[in-house]
Amino acid sequence: MSVFDLGARLMRQLPAEIAHNATLTLANALAPLMPAASPDDARLAVTAFGLDFPNPVGLAAGFDKEARVPDAMGKFGFGFVECGTVTPRPQAGNPQPRLFRLTQDQAVINRMGFNNGGMDVAAANLKARTGRGIVGINIGANKDSTDRIADYATCFERLSPLADYVTVNVSSPNTPGLRGLQGKDELTRLLASMVEVRNRHAFKPLLLKIAPDLDASAMDEIADVVRASGIEGLIVSNTTIARPALASKHAGETGGLSGKPLFAPSTTVLREMRSRLGDSVTLVGAGGIASGEDAYAKIRAGATLVQLYSALVFQGPGLVTRIKRELLACLARDGFANVTAAIGK
């Protein structure tokens, strides 16, 4: 067990949000002392939306909302790190407590509410980076905004020059009304606005992050809008408002559920979106990944890249190296020369 995995075990003795903030502070302090990640096996390399990823395993948005430690997290072996969600103005988020570990279920419930210091803080942190790993920025709208589409455009203009790609988050369940932007008309307007803003600046890949709580009709509409918009990627998926049978004492808390119970439903939506979109956009599989087999299942369902976060709470940062090792074993077992050969197969 590494010192970082031991630290993660100790952090789990603290209340969830206190532990999260302490982890960020510790990672920020130790980053200059951490060695670079070991080079990845060439079989793990993938190319997506014009970027060359050393491996397909990324850190999902939500861990590092203000882009404080993307370089430190990259040193744990992630192929890319997504920061955010960032809003134009600082936002306190929802009242505490708002983050809950469901240890028996290997799951997390959060109702954070886009708590962050705003785009200027994130911009300053991104400018101060010294690492060269791939970093994306996840953007959202302020809770009290009178023009949410304008909020996304404002964030894109401010942050896209400092990131390798930008994710438009319309699927958090913790900002009232936000998921309404996944409807056909609103989503068409939003993505058209984003592409128009991008056309005035240097090109950056645009991704959309969607919810897992979608019926077939909603998936049809999203696929149609995404295909017509010309954006490059789709992240499937955010947390769920559904509640399968859970054993933990926090099972009744409101908010978005992530972790192991999200794996199956999010993978189903991923597979459905692949069937609708083919390889016309890059799919990123997120939700419940806790092993190399899980990552491999997402890739076979159509994902080029995968993201995780909740499993780190329970398994520590050493999980990243284990997932990559197990993923290589999966590829070898089934006769795939590399990750790219297994996508959608």
Contact indicator for 210, 237 with CB cutoff of 8 Å = yes
For residue range 48-87, what is the model confidence (pLDDT) as tens digits? 999 999 999 999 999 999 999 999 999 999 999 999 999 9
Catalytic entry in 145, 160, 171, 172 = 172
Structure tokens at 334: 């089934």
pLDDT score for 10: 78
Q: What is the DSSP string of 167-231?
A: EEE---TTSTTGGGGGSHHHHHHHHHHHHHHHHTSS---EEEEE-S---HHHHHHHHHHHHHHT-
CA distances from 201 to 33, 123, 194 (A): 36, 16, 11
pLDDT score for 8: 73
Q: Is the pLDDT of residue 285 over 80?
A: yes
Q: Where are the alpha helices (DSSP H) in 230-318?
A: 263-277, 292-300, 310-315
For residue range 189-225, what is the model confidence (pLDDT) as tens digits? 999 999 999 999 999 999 999 999 999 999 999 999 9
pTM: 0.97
Q: How far apart are CA 229 and CA 189, in angstroms?
A: 10
Contact indicator for 112, 94 with CB cutoff of 8 Å = yes
Average pLDDT over residues 319-340: 98
pLDDT score for 37: 95
Least confident of 32-36, 94-98, 150-154: 32-36
pLDDT score for 24: 96
Contact indicator for 97, 89 with CB cutoff of 8 Å = no
Position 12 confidence tier, pLDDT thresholds 50, 70, 90: confident
Task: Please say if 145 is a catalytic residue.
Answer: no
In the chain the domains, ranked by start, together with CATH numbers, are: 3-342 (3.20.20.70)
